[in-house]
Amino acid sequence: MSSASNYKVGDKITVTFTGKICEMGSHDMCAKVTDDGECSFNHYVYLDSPAVEVTRADPANWPPQVGDIWEAEGQEYYVRSSRRYHDGVFIGSYAAENDYMNYQLDKFKELNPKLIRRR
């Protein structure tokens, strides 16, 4: 843990924290990001700033395991093994209109899925 007394005006620093976006500014693209509490401690981050690097955090129970059932955007997704895909898993949708969907892990993560059942 660092102390504020170790730094002075003009010091170049890197700050890393994990949180979730709880609000997006419509005019300035400033995201209100909270720690894992209930918006108890907020940070305001300009996501388009060249000084900001944002990466998507792994959802809870990541990565998907064979036999898992995940939910994202109101749909359920199943996970089965596959030698065809480099991640070793096939992620498909139960929705008939999305039969063609097979997600790479990074693309599936963008849906912010939640594990609902592990077999």
Distance CA 108, CA 79 (A): 11
pLDDT one-digit tens code per residue, 36-49: 666 567 778 888 88
Please, are residues 46 and 28 in contact by the beta-carbon 8 Å criterion? yes
Radius of gyration of the chain (CA): 19
pTM here?
Answer: 0.64
Name the most confidently modeled range: 13-22, 27-36, 73-82, 95-104: 73-82
Sign of CA dihedral 8, 13, 18, 20: positive
pLDDT exceeds cutoff 90 at 27: no
Across the chain, what does the average pLDDT equal? Answer: 78
Q: Identify the band that residue 17 occupies on the pLDDT scale cut at 50, 70 and 90.
A: confident
Locus of tokens 């209109």: 97
Sign of CA dihedral 35, 104, 87, 74: positive
For 16-28, the DSSP string reads ----EEEEE-TTT
What's residue 18's pLDDT?
74
Which of 91-95, 96-100, 115-119 shows the lowest per-residue confidence on average (mean pLDDT)?
96-100
